[in-house]
Chains A and B, each alone.
Chain A
């Protein structure tokens, strides 16, 4: 059993017909329920629910405060290599884009770590392009050894690994893995992933499950919104999270809502996701998965991010850089995507406090 089988059953359902048939009353009934099933979740993603965003927001806010309090956990990404063997049409790091690639040395990583740690950040997410040659297991282990001196929790967002490899990284101090399916629609997946190992849809889809099997503390998934119909993509994301959380109760399953940003190259989104739809996605996920962490990156604008805080978000990056060596270098290089919220950690904290929210820097102890 794999989520692949669940996905194959779900995609046969008449999702669009169902979404269009949902009425205002259906939505209101869902909001009175405590535990939502997949039909309820779909109802929250329907056009009818889109007409009732304020009521959804009231409930999403209540549920989030109940489970997480008025707190937002802060983290930062740390990009250590942008070598990549894949050709994904929407990403700046893709193999066909010509730019000077970099891979940080351990000294470079330490410089970045010092800069980030200086802002008070205690949780980091290591990112690389997908290249097993450049992000080898030994390179990753050395990186983790350096970062452990500065941070309480370390997660990775790198090329998909085998269960045994995740176990090895767990042994040296990796707590979590983030891996986005990018797009759940299998046919469209093939269109966007033109070349490289990432073309293997099934292998990528089973990656979060391998992280769970390896016993990592947290596994974070998501779809890159803008690659296909967002209602269906968010539905598959929630169902994937639910599948994992039910099967692996010991792993904290989180979701992210990355939305397509301008990048190097000529890609432009086919299925634009406007702010209303984005907010609806966030709230539907919150109500379907009341205890799951939801991450919001600096892809979104300061104004929108501030407004999203009460609606279900629990983790945010702050003062983030999406380029290799971006925290300590003076010269600007190539970002994986364009950052919209450029505020520093201090400024984000100020914004949180102004909204009566507490920034949480440390939420785990390195053991």
Chain B
């Protein structure tokens, strides 16, 4: 069975996206990328130092991966747009993950500014993947202005609290015409699996991999769980009931 995901005209076979933050050494990135089997990798533009050969994080990212620079640190649409332009000018491609986070306490995104930035950058020819608070109305507006995918948070960024926004994301999955990538808060492979079982198109995991004791092995565990969740979704999960039931308790009399 062929099961592909297309974003911005690119066909992906892996539904796990990974990040580059929080590793104790950037030289872990190639092995993590390999064991995760991910094809998309996000990198904070704020951390990219093109003038440094030794510390340039880009040098650690496998060349065959799709680079998804993000606008981490932006607190307004305008800042996000400027960071995206810097990224493209630096030769990092035209994909961008919009992060507009004015709240420094919980790091929650600003959906309104995110929408504005998405609209501007789509017009400038970027493939835009906005990170957002799960909200169907905003998701539809993002779709309307040309977002290539929408990335609702599972719980606050870096919190490892799991897939807490499930009910809202479930609605987005049902109603969205663009891929839904659950991003942020996924702390365990089982939670990534849960998002995939629900029908998410992909998940992005960074903290849970980067801060584990063995990031390379953990990346492999996430790869397996994402695959398992996807296959379960495609196979159609059985209905859950609390008790065993006769097959037709109410209409059996009809014979």
B-binding residues in A (CB < 8 A) = 65-71, 120, 122, 217, 245-246, 249-253, 291, 353, 356-365, 367
Contacts and interface: CB of A to CB of B under 8 A. Distances in A.
Overall SS of chain B's interface: loop
Interface string B25-39: 110000000000000
Contact of B104 (A251, A356, A357, A363): A251
Contact of B55 (A65, A120, A250, A356): A120
B47 A362 contact: yes
Interface string B2-24: 00000000000000000001111
Contacts of B103: 249-250
A249 B104 contact: yes
Interface stretch (B79-87, B126-134, B173-181): B79-87
Contacts of B46: 362-365
A70 B210 CA distance: 9
B105 interface: yes
18 contacts: A65-B211, A66-B211, A69-B23, A69-B207, A69-B211, A70-B23, A246-B105, A249-B104, A250-B103, A250-B104, A291-B105, A356-B24, A359-B55, A361-B55, A362-B47, A367-B79, A367-B82, A367-B83
A122 B49 contact: yes
A69 B25 CA distance: 10
Contacts of A367: 79, 82-83, 86
Contacts of B23: 69-70, 358
Nearest to A73: B47
B47 A66 contact: no
Given A69-B211, A249-B102, A250-B104, A361 B26 contact: no
Contacts of B73: 363-365
B107 interface: yes
B102 A66 contact: no
A361 B52 contact: yes
A66 B49 contact: no
Contacts of B82: 367
Contacts of A251: 104
